[in-house]
Chains A and B, each alone.
Chain A
Amino acid sequence: DIQLTQSPSSLSASIGDRVTITCRASQTISIYLNWYQQKPGKAPTLLIYAASSLQSGVPSRFSGSGSGTDFTLTISSLQPEDFASYYCQQSYITPRTFGQGTKVEIK
Chain B
Amino acid sequence: QVQLVQSGSELKKPGASVQVSCKASGYTFTRYGMNWVRQAPGQGLEWMGWINTNTGNPTYAQGFTGRFVFSLDTSVSTAYLQISSLEAEDTAVYYCARGDSSGCDHWGQGTLVTISS
| Same complex origin of A and B | yes
Chain A interface residues toward B at CB < 8 A: 1, 32, 34, 36, 38, 43-46, 49-50, 55, 85, 87, 89, 91-92, 94-101
Shortest beta-carbon distance from B38 to chain A in Å: 10
Q: Quick check: is B71 within 8 A (CB to CB) of the other chain?
A: no
**Does the CB pair A96–B107 fall under 8 Å?**
no
**Does the CB pair A89–B62 fall under 8 Å?**
no
Query: Chain A residue with minimal CB distance to B63?
Result: A95
Cβ of A46: which chain B residues have Cβ within 8 Å of it? 99, 103-105
Chain B interface residues toward A at CB < 8 A: 35, 37, 44-47, 49-50, 59, 61-62, 95, 97, 99-105, 107-110
Taking chain B's interface residues, is the majority helix, strand, or loop, or is none over half, making it mixed? Answer: strand
Query: Can you identify 15 A-B contacts, CB atoms within 8 angstroms?
Result: A1-B62, A34-B104, A43-B97, A44-B107, A55-B103, A89-B47, A89-B103, A91-B100, A94-B59, A95-B49, A96-B50, A98-B37, A98-B47, A101-B44, A101-B45
Which of A32, A91, A92 lies at the interface centre, i.e. has the most chain B CB atoms within 10 A of its CB?
A91
